[in-house]
Amino acid sequence: MTNHGRIISVADAGCLDSIQLELLEHAFREWADEPKRADLRLSRKRILLIFLLVRYTGAKLHEVLALDLRHALDSKNLLIAFEKREVHISRHVAQTLRDLLHELADAALWRVAVDPAFVRRKFYERAAACGFSKKQGSPEMIRKARAVELMQGNLPVPAVQRMLGHSTPNLTTARIVFSEDDMHRVTRWHMEQEAGKKTSARNSFFGKVQSLIKGEVQTLVQLATLDGGTLSAIVTNTSAEHLGIKLGRLLSAEVKAPWLVLERHDAKGDNSLENRRDGVIVRIKAGAINTECAVRITDDVQLCAVVSSPAFAGLRLKEGDPVRVLFSCNTVILHTE
């Protein structure tokens, strides 16, 4: 993927990270529940609602203020309809928005115009209360932080671009076309996984089935992935039938961090593991037993590997070094919707 298709580098400084975003959200919620006066509490809950929309949709402030959520929020399909695009949200976020909207609708407060400058001041105040800078608490930086958060969670860049209203690059890779509907499905799956944290896998891929080779017991599945590569996985024939795996089907694939193998870039390359990605080490967190290593595969995709500390020391690798990441097709977990 070229730099032309990027929104922002995940390494860009200045954004709040996921933990800081959670702290800021908690500060907004406490602030909104604090007043005893009903009118003041509802006024603050409207600001909370605006914050949550910016935080979870990545929309611009003027887009959020132009919404009439009574019509824009599609609770059944978990969508928010902006003027030029629809954005997926999780069930948890949708329920929170519904609850807040119900309170505001009862008071007819949502129909009252909001001054953007007033909203900005409240964003700045909550950020300062958390010890963050005014810039970090601005709606623009919350939007930027959401983009970084999504990309660090391995939501494919085209899906992030589409969600934020950016133009997207050609979604054709390895002769496989990824449609707008595919982007919808990928984003919806990611939002539910993000909200539910149902898996301990650290590395996610999205792709379409490019080929299938069925054996007597197992099926070899090859995916064309959105990062422009390919990925191989082996599942039992029973699992393939249960998942409805067929040519052209969109799947997500996960690999747990301990199942990744690191190899020096200048190694002979005689390892038999089927899946390979070349990258650069961007972070090393060494422990007494294990070492966690983050490897940037493309400008927007990172993989996380956990290896024993003695084995990592033997590789003599440091941040900035080129490295090869390998994993077996037997360690790839496939998911459908």
- Residue-wise pLDDT for 204-234, tens only, equals 888 889 999 999 999 999 998 877 788 999 9
- Residue-wise pLDDT for 25-48, tens only, equals 999 999 998 998 988 988 999 999
Output the six-digit token pair for 295: 């490897």
pLDDT score of 57 more than 90: yes
Q: Helices 18-33 and 116-129 meet at what angle, rounded to 10?
A: 110
pLDDT of residue 190: 64
- Residue-wise pLDDT for 275-309, tens only, equals 999 999 999 999 889 999 999 887 667 889 999 99
pLDDT score of 104 more than 60: yes
pLDDT of residue 199: 46
pLDDT band at 7 (very low <50, low <70, confident <90, very high): very low
| Among candidate residues 147, 126, 117, the one with its CA nearest the CA of residue 29 | 126
- Residue-wise pLDDT for 84-98, tens only, equals 888 988 888 888 888
pLDDT of residue 198: 47
pLDDT score of 102 more than 50: yes
Q: What is the CA radius of gyration of the chain?
A: 22
pLDDT score of 174 more than 60: no
Q: Helices 116-129 and 38-57 meet at what angle, rounded to 10?
A: 80
* The residue to which tokens 């009252």 are assigned: 112
For 257, phi then psi, to 5°, come to -55, -40
Contacts by residues 140-143 (CB-CB < 8 Å, ≥ 24 positions apart): 140/60, 140/61, 141/14, 141/15, 141/16, 142/16, 142/21, 142/24, 142/51, 142/54, 142/55, 143/54, 143/58, 143/59, 143/60
pLDDT band at 71 (very low <50, low <70, confident <90, very high): confident
Stated pTM of the model: 0.60
Q: Reading across the β-sheet that carries 250-255, which strands appear in turn?
A: 230-236, 218-225, 203-214, 250-255, 333-335
41 burial (CB, 10 Å; 0-12 / 13-18 / 19+) is: middle
| Among candidate residues 24, 211, 231, 25, the one with its CA nearest the CA of residue 130 | 24
Domains of the chain and CATH, by start: 3-164 (1.10.443.10), 200-337 (2.40.50.100)
Average pLDDT for the chain: 83
pLDDT of residue 48: 94
Contacts by residues 295-301 (CB-CB < 8 Å, ≥ 24 positions apart): 295/262, 295/323, 295/325, 297/227, 297/325, 298/1, 298/227, 298/228, 299/1, 299/3, 299/6, 299/9, 300/1, 300/6, 300/9, 300/10, 300/151, 300/157, 300/227, 301/151, 301/154, 301/227
pLDDT band at 10 (very low <50, low <70, confident <90, very high): very low
Q: Which helix (H) or strand (E) holds 303?
A: strand 301-308
pLDDT of residue 185: 66
CA pair distance 73, 337, nearest whole angstrom = 22
- Residue-wise pLDDT for 239-273, tens only, equals 899 888 998 888 888 898 889 999 998 887 677 88
